[in-house]
Amino acid sequence: MICVIGLSDLFMICLIDLFVFSYIRLSKKTIMDTVKWGIIGAGDVCEKKSGPAFYKTAHSELIAVMRRDEEKAKDYALRHNVPKYYTDVERLIHDPDVNAIYVATPPDSHAEYAIKALKAGKPVYVEKPMAMSYLECMQMIKASEISGQKLFVAYYRRALPYFRKIKELLDRQLIGTPLTVDVKYFRTPSANDLDPEKQTWRVQRATAGEGYFYDMAPHTLDILAFLLGEITEAKGCAQNLGHYYEVKDTISAVWQFESGAIGTGQWCFVTSEKSEWDYVVITGTKGEIRFNTFAFNPIKLITPDYLDAIVARPPECIQQPLIQTIVDELRGVGQCPSTGITGARTSRVMDMILGE
């Protein structure tokens, strides 16, 4: 027996398949009343920048932490009143009382742990940079899509009042159409940088990628994409001029935004103290905005009609505004501005600058 299917029938079959697939995907997503966090890697970043926000934010609780060192895990749990602590990643991920995971380990394990948590059916908030490469980021996004679980990245400047104010000034077109961006971040090496026996994982390529550039530069590149739109092209030069560690310490780059505006940047981590810089200048057809990525000095708006210095200080727990947006989105009452998609784009830009 031969069954003939017309185009209208085929369309209906495809429509039904799409509906079923969408239903399955949506059924995996649960709107939470309270987000109950588990932290993988409760190290320094969790002491003040992020950790306290998980129990200070409304509708959010910190249920468990994990570190390989049991004494450190226990100490963190006691000091922050966390009910549970683990030394095994799998036990934390599969804890039934935990319904969201924060990955706060060095970058070399971001993809591995995030993918495990997503496959376990839990949304993930991962530290920056999102992963060791754009390819790893895409693997994380794929896991998010397959699992139906949300993926967020700790580019917390997107939610800070300081940078929200800059975006407001740009959106009001007070400097006209943005034309160029100039970035300079120069820093002197620390005492640990100068001592091979004391150097941190941040300057070990296998653990953290290209050193301080991977650690610091993505904050600037990501917030510029938030302010001015996606960066579509980038290239650069990178050298190790200080010879204190194996990774590159001096990087120069040029990039283009989807709008056509052009950016240039220099990062150097081996300058003298007198040569330290932290500035960003956005120049438009009617003026310019000057600000910092890290120092949070007053924002300077310079136009024929304005000469203003705007103060917008960061909160004590600097990641809390972004974590609030994550909690809101998981509760179905808001939207987080820093997702796996935006985080991956920033990693792509870094890969392009370094020629990866």
Using one digit for the tens of pLDDT, what is the confidence trace for 159-185?
999 999 999 999 999 999 999 999 999
Does a structural domain hold residue 61? yes
pLDDT recorded at residue 97: 98
Q: Are residues 169 and 307 in the same domain?
A: yes
- Least Cα distance to 251 among 232, 231, 235 occurs for 235
Q: Are residues 185 and 302 in the same domain?
A: yes
Q: Are residues 51 and 167 in the same domain?
A: no
Does a structural domain hold residue 101? yes
What's the count of helices (H) and strands (E) in the chain, helices before strands?
12, 14
Q: Are residues 167 and 281 in the same domain?
A: yes
Does a structural domain hold residue 26? no
Using one digit for the tens of pLDDT, what is the confidence trace for 183-228?
999 999 999 999 999 999 999 999 999 999 999 999 999 999 999 9
Does a structural domain hold residue 186? yes
Does a structural domain hold residue 348? no
Q: Are residues 101 and 80 in the same domain?
A: yes
Q: Which residues does 260 contact at the CB level (< 8 Å), separation at least 6?
A: none
Using one digit for the tens of pLDDT, what is the confidence trace for 314-334?
999 999 999 999 999 999 999
d(CA 77, CA 65): 7
Structural domain range at position 186: 161-313
Q: Are residues 172 and 236 in the same domain?
A: yes
Does a structural domain hold residue 10? no
Domain boundary among 112, 130, 155: 155
pLDDT recorded at residue 9: 43
Confidence band for 8, pLDDT divided at 50, 70 and 90 = very low
Q: Are residues 165 and 269 in the same domain?
A: yes
- The tokens for 199 are 């150097």
| DSSP characters over 302-341 | ESSS-EEEE--PPPSSTTHHHHHHHHHHHTTS---S-BHH
pLDDT recorded at residue 349: 98
Using one digit for the tens of pLDDT, what is the confidence trace for 247-276?
999 999 999 999 999 999 999 999 999 999
Q: What is the mean pLDDT of residues 277-302?
A: 98
Model pTM score: 0.90
DSSP character for 127?
Answer: P
Q: What's the order of all strands across the beta sheet hosting 178-186?
A: 231-239, 250-257, 262-268, 178-186, 277-284, 288-291, 299-302, 307-310
DSSP character for 136?
Answer: H
Q: Are residues 111 and 63 in the same domain?
A: yes
Q: Is the pLDDT of residue 2 over 80?
A: no
- Of 9 and 240, the one with more pLDDT: 240
pLDDT recorded at residue 4: 36
Q: Is the pLDDT of residue 6 over 80?
A: no
Does a structural domain hold residue 336? no
- The tokens for 150 are 């949300």
Q: Are residues 40 and 102 in the same domain?
A: yes
Q: At 243, which CATH number?
A: 3.30.360.10
**Phi/psi at 5 (nearest 5 deg)?**
-110, 125
Residues in the chain: 356
pLDDT recorded at residue 29: 55
Q: Are residues 171 and 303 in the same domain?
A: yes
d(CA 336, CA 338): 6
pLDDT recorded at residue 306: 84
Q: What is the mean pLDDT of residues 68-80?
A: 97
pLDDT recorded at residue 309: 94
Q: Are residues 125 and 256 in the same domain?
A: no
Q: How many CB atoms lie within 10 A of CB 107?
A: 24
d(CA 109, CA 208): 9
d(CA 66, CA 84): 9
Domain boundary among 118, 135, 155: 155
Q: At 148, which CATH number?
A: 3.40.50.720
Q: How many CB atoms lie within 10 A of CB 178?
A: 23
Using one digit for the tens of pLDDT, what is the confidence trace for 16-57?
343 333 433 433 456 899 999 999 999 999 999 999 999 999
Q: Are residues 140 and 232 in the same domain?
A: no
Which residue do the tokens 């740009």 mark? 170
Confidence band for 11, pLDDT divided at 50, 70 and 90 = very low
Does a structural domain hold residue 339? no
Total of domains in the chain:
2
